[in-house]
Structure formats: structure tokens, C-alpha cells
Amino acid sequence: MENRSISDIIEAYLKEIFGDDTQIEIRRSEIADHFNVVPSQINYVIKTRFTIQNGYLVQSKRGGGGYIRIERVNLLADVDVLNSLVQAIGDSIRERDAFAIIETLYNEKVISRREGDLMLVALSKQTLAVDDTNMENKLRARILVSFLNRLRYES
């Protein structure tokens, strides 16, 4: 049997709630009660698993009638979303985060498997082979932003 963390289980549950919808609204405390965890665990899952890099926008409203709205977005169809993604990348990105973006592009059928594989190779530690991690992450960000801009103009 597969060992899954509570974060994996909560993520799967939230994705199941989506169904065919593009957005959901949840109450953090209700989800926390459902899984018998503290509300900060729900924050952690949302902050780490439902990011713009993974194809999601998150909005929250605090207070008594507060909610968290999670919206699944098409990364390249909406210029504002693409701009947010490029802004989230900034001038530096770790290999793991770059790979997550490419995986999302593939899962959303924006790129083919072959294109994704080529992008992964181009952004890998082995290809960049820079002894300075900071410089490597900056170079990776510039290449990834260039890929995204090229995809924007082709679609």
C-alpha cells in the first residue's frame, strides 16, 4: 500500500471537489475539521500545492464569512495569468519549481511530452552546469521565461 502524507490526502480531496469545475470555495476550518488537523495544515497544503506554477490562483477572504477560493487557470490563454506566472518566477527559480511549471504545462496539454522533455533537459542542473547555485537559478529563470513567452506567441 502506498504511504501518503496527510498533505497528499488533503490535496487529492480538494482536487476531487473540483470535479469539472474551474473554481471552488472552501472554508479552511471545515476542511481542517474533516481531516482532524489544525487549520494551518490546510494553509500549508494550499500554499505549497495550489500555486500559480501548478496552474492555480488562490484568493482568500478572512473573517466570519471568510473563504478560500481556488481557481484552476489556463496558464497561457490568459495574459494576466501568464504575467503572474512570469512574475512568480522572477529572476531566479529552483530546478524543482521550474519542473513543476513544465509538468503543469504538459498536464494542461499546452505542450507535448516531447516539448516538455526537451524543456526539462534544457533547465536541468546537469545541462546548466554552473558551480554557483545562485547563477544557475537566475539562468534557469531567464530560459524558462523565454520558453513561456515563445509559447504565448505561438498559441
| CATH 1.10.1200.150-classified regions of the chain | 79-154
Burial class (CB in 10 A: 0-12, 13-18, 19+), 123: buried
Q: What is the pTM of this model?
A: 0.63
CATH code reported for the domain at 6-72: 3.30.56.130
pLDDT digits (tens, 9 = 90+) for 132-149: 999 999 999 999 999 888
| CATH 3.30.56.130-classified regions of the chain | 6-72
Question: Which residue blocks in the chain are alpha helix, DSSP H?
Answer: 6-18, 28-35, 39-49, 79-89, 95-107, 113-123, 125-128, 133-154
Phi, psi of 59 (to 5 degrees): -125, 145
List, in order, residues 6 or more apart from 78 with CB less than 8 Å away: none
The angle at the Cα of 99, spanning 74 to 120, to the nearest 5 degrees, equals 110
CATH code reported for the domain at 79-154: 1.10.1200.150
pLDDT score at 124: 96
